[in-house]
Amino acid sequence: MKNNKTVTVIDYGVGNLLSVSRGFEAIGANVVVTSSLSKIKKAERLVLPGVGAFGKGMQELKNRDFDKAIIDVISEGVPILGICLGMQFLMETSNEFGFHQGLGLIPGNVISIPKKSIGGDDLTVPHIGWNALEVSSFHSSWQGTILGSTKAGSHVYFVHSYMSNPTDSEHLLAHCFYGGNIITAVVLKDNIMGCQFHPEKSGSIGLEILKKFLTI
């Protein structure tokens, strides 16, 4: 059954559009997948998916003038959810295969996840699999956020080699541990949200996160 919430999923040629769309459709959202600049500018809620390399993805956004449109829309208070690579685009810069400028919506950069555990053992990169979400040290709870219905320790699905590294700890909403290393899982700044993991592939827990995004 449809509800009255519409999400606009940005199609820039790089992203898991089908699974993201199906995730939102499963919770009753009206989903608009678009490569139209005008539709992006009129969006009620934006979703920025992404897989692959940072530099190529950002270039595709720039080629379509989507980068400027996203920044303008977000400045007007429209909520945005970046997923996986889409979350990394929210940062200022990335050092994946060179130096690249991001959207600059959240202060910080994108760095490689550690290749060693805190005990010195080799870690498999990319980081693939289910990991438990933990409340970051700056936040006492997730109430009022996209994790408002999620319990600490809930497992979600990750596939990535790089991660966001916010400059300000207040923008780190949740993390997970990989080999004892802290891995950024969710970032938040006002109406700007990002999940390093794939909520659309994280079962009922992921769908609850998408539901919360509809209420922001």
Q: Which residues are catalytic?
A: 84, 198, 200
In the chain, DSSP assigns E strands to: 6-10, 30-34, 46-48, 80-83, 91-94, 100-101, 106-112, 127-132, 134-135, 155-160, 162-166, 172-178, 181-189, 192-195
In 20-105, DSSP assigns E strands to: 30-34, 46-48, 80-83, 91-94, 100-101
Q: What is the DSSP letter of 14?
A: -
